[in-house]
Each structure stands twice: as C-alpha cells, then as structure tokens.
Amino acid sequence: MISGLSHLTFIVRDLERTSDFLRTVFAAEEVYASGDDTFSLSREKYFLIAGQWVCIMEGNSLPERTYNHVAFAIPDEEFENYEARVRAAGVDIRPSRPRIEEEGRSLYFYDYDNHLFELHAGTLEARLDRYTRRR
C-alpha cells in the first residue's frame, strides 16, 4: 500500500544556483550535500520544503518548457509575500490561466532548468465544490 509521496527529484545544471533558488522561494532547508561523493547518478543535494523531501541532482536541463508542474500549497494571505520571493529569485513567471474565484490564486514560475512550479492558495475540496455547483 502506498503511504504517501516519498520525494521529488529535479535535474539541474548548477546545484548552488538552484540551492539559492529553493532557499529564496520555498525557505527550503538543506539537509544533505554529496560533495564529490556520488551514491546515485551524480552530485546531489537534499532539501526539506514544508516537510517534503526534494532532491536536486547535477545534469542537463530540460530541453523545453511544458505545463507539467509541481504545486505547493500556500495560505492566500501570504500570496503577495511569496510572489515577492519569486520575483527576488529573478525567474520567469508564467501568466496564470483563467480561473474562477473558488479555485484559489496561483503563481506559476520556471526555475533555471525549465521546471515549472506553482504556488497555489486553494484546496481540492473548494475547487470540486465549485465545479459541482457550476453544472
């Protein structure tokens, strides 16, 4: 039986630059750095973001941007604070898709290696409730 999500791994060109990005935007806590030791495919670092294990490994960036993404939940009252963090990181912000109010606000942005992230101030329950009432 699956008990939950174990970890997320992102392949990045520059471990230090991405480390700074994760700390700036997500307040990520670095818990491991392999240095020149490689127990996996390449040098890597582990972080905790809101208790979630996130791994970055050295390698080639994604060749193109897509809408595949990872969304992190944030409280709506902290939306502007997080938007300022993303802008401070100097990354590209993607325009949000059209939304109905009950979906909650979202901020989409790419890291330096074409990974798309979302900061979402909504819940699945609120979204499904609104979609059900729309019919």
Residue 44 annotated in active site: yes
For residue 5, which phi and psi values (nearest 5 degrees)? -80, 130
Judged by DSSP in three states, 43 sits in: coil
Which member of 44, 77, 78, 103 is catalytic? 44
43 neighbors 16 (Cβ within 8 angstroms): no
Both tokens of 36, joined, read 């020149």
Please give the order of strands across the beta sheet that includes 29-33.
7-12, 52-58, 44-49, 29-33
CA neighbor of 107 nearest in space, from 118, 123, 91:
118
Catalytic residues: 44
